[in-house]
Structure 1
Amino acid sequence: MTDLTRIENAFLAVDVSPLGAEMQAIATPDGRSWLWSGDAAFWSGRSPVLFPIVGRAPDDTLLIDGKPYPMGQHGFARRRDFALASATETMCRHELAASEETRALYPFEFLLAVEHRLEGPTLTVSATVSNRGDRPMPFGLGFHPAFVWPLPGAAGRPHTIHLDNGGEPALRRLEGGLLAAGELPSPFAGGTLVLDPAQFEADAMIFPEGAGDGLTYRAEDGPALAFRFENLPNLALWTKPGAPYLCIEPWHGTAAESGGSRELSQRPHGTVLPAGESRRFAFTVTFPG
């Protein structure tokens, strides 16, 4: 890609594409790469932004005030070109506004602004959703960044996720791409999950509640990435068994529930934004110095 925007400082360099406002690379000055490369043999994504839904809708169709609209998994923003609204050496902001094309899928006047910002060894990724229309606007918003697994220099070492709150949140699974009924026992013990590819043979691990607002992804006796979440109460972890990446996905909203309502406004953990208002969602990740 020749139209990437690069932001960088003494600690990090990040490349962002206008397609989906999606990060394409995160590197430290020592040459280590932290973001998944997007190898299509496993998964071509790298860090998509999910809007106006997270996950799947039944039969890939939403109801909005009772009227059906086609909507693919994770929404349409990740497949749309954003405009570069502003950029400095350490920040870039991309925007996607409602258009005739988006209104056919999602009949609302919105602005989705995605910002990437560096401060020291910390990267902040935020999404601000604005309702420019005259009626309440339902949506879900999520982030889907994929980090390398194993972490750089840590091949063969155990990797863990440790929740800052020490929680043991209940696990939910997907059924036909929808949120299956019923909770399963937590795979966390004392806030720690020892990662194993076999955990993903049944697709993503989803924690709609109780994962808290921060975690650390760590290799034993190796590097660690520290995450903080803002207005993102739901968490998912995902990879394809055998693939060398781990998606750490903070969301506000989940897939529709199996057997549940098809109405967008009734999807679990969604947001209904009043006319004229905006809502911000963000995560930070701090890399080894």
Structure 2
Amino acid sequence: MQATIHNEFLTLTVDTHGAEAVSLKNAAGEEMLWQADPAIWKRHAPILFPWTGKLTGGTFTANGKTYKGGQHGFARDVEHTLLRAEGDTIQLELRADDAIKAERFPFDFVLTSTFRLEGKTVHHTLTVQNPAEAAQELRFGIGYHPAFNVPFDSAHTTEDYEFRFDQPESPMILDASPNGLLSGRCYYQWKNASAIQLTDDLFANDSFCMAGLRTKTLGIYEKDTGRSVVCNVAGYPYTLIWSAPAKPVRYVCIEPWHALPGAETDPQEWSERAATACLAPGQQWETTLSTTFDR
């Protein structure tokens, strides 16, 4: 099922499958989200929960049982409950049911996804709550993975775009090649850079996971017009940029994460792995990604 909200600048549609934004159009009716061509990449803007990236060995253990886990968790692959869609807000919820706890993740949780329009900005808030009555800790990772159409129109090509920081950056790149697991290596790809030129070969070796950014915003800009899609990444310890290695580039992802993929040396025990947060019963945690579409 899908729900749609709009204001004078934006029309947003969210699907209950994955609580995923599947369409965002500007006032001229131009689609700004990637439309999930399965020949290139079959998603639009998935939620990453309860882990980001890959798990070491593709599994984890908890309470003596081994669970298989695909990339980026499972919230993007299951049905969420629509709580409301009215005015400027869409809100959905995912609760751990018996099937999820038996097959995917043996912990109680409530994941609430709230989309709100404000002018040309979409605010997407993820709230995680531990509803457990017993003394069971909820340990999780979380992140965002929106994909934006590039080029913005048929008059432009890949080379007309660049990623821009709001101040010069020398981001530390955390290496996860060749298998998507952290290798323990890190390197500098750019030094004192205010912008990263988009090219058709930029992501030939997969994404760039940037740690320790000082910038408050990271956006994709059309160089001759200044049109842009800009994410507020302040407060996120990691921000990734990525696109599928198709030529020419058809979309770019700006991905603020609060957690990392597994490392090659990670233990299998879930309680021993790094996490975004560890919530005691009754506690909750919240984050918001705000993205402004100036086009």
- Shorter-chain TM range is over 0.9
Distance 2:254 2:242 in 1: 7
Distance 1:162 1:64 in 2: 42
Q: 1:154, CA displacement in angstroms?
A: 5.6
**Alpha carbons 1:168, 1:211 under 8 Å: kept:** no
**Alpha carbons 1:34, 1:152 under 8 Å: kept:** no
Q: 1:184 to 1:269 in 2, by over 3 A?
A: farther
Deviations, residues 48-103 of structure 1 (Å, cap 9, x unaligned):
00100100012210133664221111111111100011221211100000101111
Q: 1:6 to 1:132 in 2, by over 3 A?
A: same
Decide which moves more: 93-102 or 161-170. 161-170
Distance 2:95 2:34 in 1: 28
Decide which moves more: 171-180 or 273-282. 171-180
Match of 1:195 among 185, 198, 205: 198
**Alpha carbons 1:211, 1:233 under 8 Å: kept:** no
Q: 1:260, CA displacement in angstroms?
A: 2.6
Instruction: Give the aligned partner of residue 163 of structure 2.
Output: 161
**Alpha carbons 1:114, 1:128 under 8 Å: kept:** yes
**Alpha carbons 2:231, 2:254 under 8 Å: kept:** no
**Alpha carbons 1:265, 1:272 under 8 Å: kept:** no
Identity of aligned residues (%): 29
Distance 2:215 2:183 in 1: 22
Q: 1:209, CA displacement in angstroms?
A: 2.8
| Secondary structure class of the residue paired with 2:106 | coil
**Alpha carbons 1:4, 1:15 under 8 Å: kept:** yes
In the alignment, structure 1 residue 219 sits paired with structure 2 residue 218: no
Instruction: Give the aligned partner of residue 127 of structure 1.
Output: 126
AA matched with 1:232: Y
In the alignment, structure 1 residue 240 sits paired with structure 2 residue 248: no
Instruction: Give the aligned partner of residue 25 of structure 2.
Output: 27
Distance 1:200 1:248 in 2: 13
Q: 1:108 to 1:268 in 2, by over 3 A?
A: closer
Instruction: Give the aligned partner of residue 179 of structure 1.
Output: 182
Distance 2:75 2:255 in 1: 16
AA matched with 2:47: V
Distance 1:246 1:46 in 2: 11
Q: 1:166 to 1:63 in 2, by over 3 A?
A: farther
Match of 2:257 among 251, 254, 264: 251
Q: 1:185 to 1:154 in 2, by over 3 A?
A: farther
Q: 1:244, CA displacement in angstroms?
A: 0.2
Instruction: Give the aligned partner of residue 142 of structure 2.
Output: 141
Structure 2: any 5+ residue segments left out of the alignment? none
Distance 1:201 1:55 in 2: 18
TM-score, normalising length from structure 1? 0.93
| Secondary structure class of the residue paired with 2:57 | helix
Q: 1:259, CA displacement in angstroms?
A: 2.1
AA matched with 1:28: N
AA matched with 2:198: L
Distance 2:205 2:156 in 1: 24
Distance 1:87 1:221 in 2: 37
Distance 2:33 2:191 in 1: 25
Distance 1:263 1:280 in 2: 25
Instruction: Give the aligned partner of residue 277 of structure 2.
Output: 271
Distance 1:192 1:265 in 2: 39
Match of 1:228 among 211, 214, 232: 232
Q: 1:107 to 1:269 in 2, by over 3 A?
A: closer
Instruction: Give the aligned partner of residue 12 of structure 2.
Output: 14
Decide which moves more: 36-45 or 223-232. 223-232
Distance 1:126 1:230 in 2: 14
**Alpha carbons 2:88, 2:117 under 8 Å: kept:** yes
TM-score, normalising length from structure 2? 0.91
Decide which moves more: 235-244 or 17-26. 235-244
Decide which moves more: 23-32 or 191-200. 191-200
Distance 1:230 1:99 in 2: 33
Q: 1:174 to 1:193 in 2, by over 3 A?
A: same
Q: 1:285 to 1:265 in 2, by over 3 A?
A: same
Distance 1:265 1:230 in 2: 28
